């Protein structure tokens, strides 16, 4: 039984090494605080470890599962916060920068995918990009965004829809981006 456990640990290490970078990057982008991002990623991976025996691959790739767990935990953390000081984190820069040595350029595939997604997002009209970033990275609901931007909720949802559809078209025109 110990061998089984050791084998699962090795598989888990492989999963962590493959996906922890993008998971941490997402958490850090969402909350802008390293300690909070690390806690979120740790919770997500340990959740995968605890429930791994029940993981159903038909529901999606491991990376999608981990990133979804990170995203959901970050949004939950935001909603628990009384003061949403993360709103002070600008889109252009993070309040707390990681040491440059920890920035990676080792994974060519990951870098290429990241470049392509960033390009598609950056080429959206500013009003569409804004609502998508506020929703996905900011964890705001469409009604919260509508309130902040003084827009009808339907307009916010329409901009989300147009923006995602344009990104989808952009992915289709160039190399494939998949998770």
Partner 1 sequence: MSAEDRMSNRHDCGGDAAAYVLGALEPAEAEAFRTHLATCIFCRDEVAALQPVADALPMAAPQYNAPSGLRRRVLAAARAEARPAPTPDRRRTTGFRLPRPALAGALAVVLALAVIGVVNLASGGSSGVRVIPARVTALDASAQLRVTDGRAELVVRHFPPPPAGHIYEIWLQRGNGAPSPTKTLFSVTSSGAGNIGLPENMSGVSAVLVTPEPAGGSLAPTHAPVIVAPLT
Instruction: Please list every residue from 87 through 106 that binds partner 1, using CB under 8 A.
Output: 94, 98, 102-104, 106
Write out the binding residues for partner 1, residues 125-164 only, by CB under 8 A: 132, 135-137, 139-143, 145, 154, 156-158, 160-161, 163-164
Q: How far is the CB of 168 from partner 1 (least distance, A)?
A: 5
Q: Indicate whether 110 belongs to the interface with partner 1 (CB under 8 A).
A: yes
Residue 144 has a CB neighbour count (10 Å cut-off) of 16
Inter-CA distances, 168 with 105, 171, 173, 176, 177, Å: 26, 5, 9, 10, 10
Q: Which is nearer to partner 1, 77 or 135 (CB)?
A: 135
DSSP 29-98: HHH--HHHHHHHHHHHHHHHHHHGGG--GGG--HHHHHHHHHHHHHHHHHHH-SS-GGGGS-SS--SSPP
Q: How many residues bind partner 1 (CB under 8 A)?
A: 90
Write out the binding residues for partner 1, residues 26-65 only, by CB under 8 A: 26, 28-30, 34, 38, 41-42, 45-46, 49-50, 52-57, 61-64
Q: Which is nearer to partner 1, 85 or 165 (CB)?
A: 165
Q: Which residue has the tokens 């959206």?
A: 124
């Amino acid at each position: 039984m110990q061998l089984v456990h050791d084998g699962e640990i090795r598989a888990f290490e492989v999963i962590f090494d493959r996906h922890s970078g993008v998971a941490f990057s997402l958490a850090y982008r969402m909350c802008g605080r390293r300690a909070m991002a690390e806690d979120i990623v740790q919770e997500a991976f340990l959740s995968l470890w605890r429930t791994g025996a029940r993981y159903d691959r038909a529901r999606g790739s491991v990376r999608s599962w981990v990133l979804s767990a990170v995203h959901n935990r970050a949004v939950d953390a935001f909603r628990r916060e009384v003061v949403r000081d993360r709103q002070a984190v600008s889109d252009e820069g993070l309040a707390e920068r990681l040491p440059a040595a920890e920035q990676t350029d080792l994974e060519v595939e990951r870098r290429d995918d990241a470049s392509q997604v960033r390009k598609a997002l950056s080429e959206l009209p500013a009003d569409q990009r804004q609502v998508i970033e506020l929703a996905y990275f900011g964890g705001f609901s469409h009604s919260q965004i509508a309130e902040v931007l003084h827009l009808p909720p339907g307009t916010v949802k329409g901009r989300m829809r147009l923006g995602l559809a344009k990104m989808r078209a952009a992915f289709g025109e160039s190399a494939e981006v998949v998770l």
